[in-house]
Amino acid sequence: MVLSMLLLVPVALASWPEPPSTGWATVQDAPLIACVQDADGRPWCYAETDAPVAFSRVVAVIRDLDHYPDTFDHVDQVRRVDANTAWIHIDYPSPLTDRDYVARFTQVDDAAVTAPAGSVGGFHIRFHAAESADAPPTASAVRLPHAAGGYDAWDLGNGRTRIRYTWETEIGGDLPTWVSERARTTHGSEVIDGIVKNAGG
């Protein structure tokens, strides 16, 4: 196993909004991005596409946490705190302040996640905000205390993979609504595009 890979152990699925379900509103078609508010009023979105890339390559990209700055345009730093926890820094365009968060990653058993029809296996990672004394202090960034989300990949056969990225989209700070809405669609597209590109698509 490559040292940069997440050392994950399957766990039971945590309680969170699993798309697609009633109430998700489509905000973009390609890749599909749909959003909803959870019971606490926090905004969630998911981005999804079917791509002509091998399932094994998609899984390798998702697991390769230390290379996320090479995969995702706005992630410019990742610092491992332990095998499954990392500090992640997001570069926001000037004059906006950068964001960061500490996330703990866990793998979810495939049987706990609803699979699309015709898929022949899946891979699932969830992450939630964590605290760690080993994480860099927040100085020039807005820390995201509710950061959470997950990556899902399903093998559709014939070299095709369904990729889904779900995330809690609250970006903190005193920003106009249109900035937050723009950030959601931009982020979702960049994550999906980054995975597909780095998986060979």
Asked whether residue 64 carries a pLDDT value surpassing 50, the answer given is: yes
Q: Is 61 helix (H, G, I), strand (E, B) or coil?
A: helix
Confidence band of 181 (pLDDT split at 50, 70, 90): confident
Q: Is 112 exposed, middle or buried (0-12, 13-18, 19+ CB in 10 A)?
A: middle
Q: What is the pLDDT of residues 125-159, one digit of tens each?
A: 999 999 888 888 877 888 899 999 999 999 999 99
Percent of the chain residues past pLDDT 70, beyond the cut: 91
- Whole-number percent of the chain with pLDDT over 90: 61
List C-alpha distances in Å: 147 to 11, 49, 60, 67, 143: 19, 23, 23, 19, 9
Is the Cα torsion angle 171, 7, 62, 115 positive or negative in sign?
A: negative
**Please, which pLDDT band fits residue 100 given cuts at 50, 70 and 90?**
very high
CA 46 to chain centre: 9
pLDDT at 164: 97
**Residue 16 banded pLDDT, cuts 50, 70, 90:** low
| CATH (one of 3.30.530.20, 3.40.50.1370, 3.40.640.10, 3.30.70.3450) for 25-198 | 3.30.530.20
Average pLDDT over residues 189-201: 96
What pLDDT was estimated at residue 9?
36
